[in-house]
Amino acid sequence: MQTVRDVMTTNVDCCTPLDNVFEVATKMKDLNVGAIPIVENGQLLGMITDRDLVVRGIAEKHPGSNSVTNVMSDHLITIGPDTSIAEASHLMAEHQVRRLPVVENRQLIGIVSLGDLAVRDYSDDQAGDALSDISEK
């Protein structure tokens, strides 16, 4: 059985609560990613997605100097590294998310995304099923 540990991205760049929205947006651009975890002392506090920047940042007229804590999502669905790929796919579909932070002993150790599931070809169409479920809801 394939687990999240087998497919997750482990080299995850993060920001801290001391960073501002501009710094997060710049990091997203430089890394060509759509989400940045917010971490303090290794513990996951939240996540900022490109959508958060638009909806909670720009649309709310928050300047780039605004704290990441005012824009980040802090009610996150997380997953453990030994969780099956099928369960990860199910959680993504159920909660309509495209990525799940992977946490072990309260520490962020990676992220698993729909892309990780699809590219690795371990999922027996589970990534496609999850994406269909996310898109339909």
Q: What domain count does the chain have?
A: 1
Q: Where are the alpha helices (DSSP H) in 10-125?
A: 21-31, 50-52, 85-95, 114-120
What dihedral do alpha carbons 30, 31, 36, 37 form, nearest 10°?
A: -120
pLDDT given at position 64: 75
What CATH number did the domain enclosing 106 receive? 3.10.580.10
Average pLDDT over residues 8-17: 94
Section 66-76 average pLDDT:
90
pTM given for the model = 0.81
Dihedral sign for Cα atoms in the order 135, 124, 79, 24: negative
Residue 118: which domain range?
4-136
Q: What is the pLDDT of residue 55?
A: 87
What pLDDT band is residue 129 in, cutting at 50, 70 and 90?
Answer: low
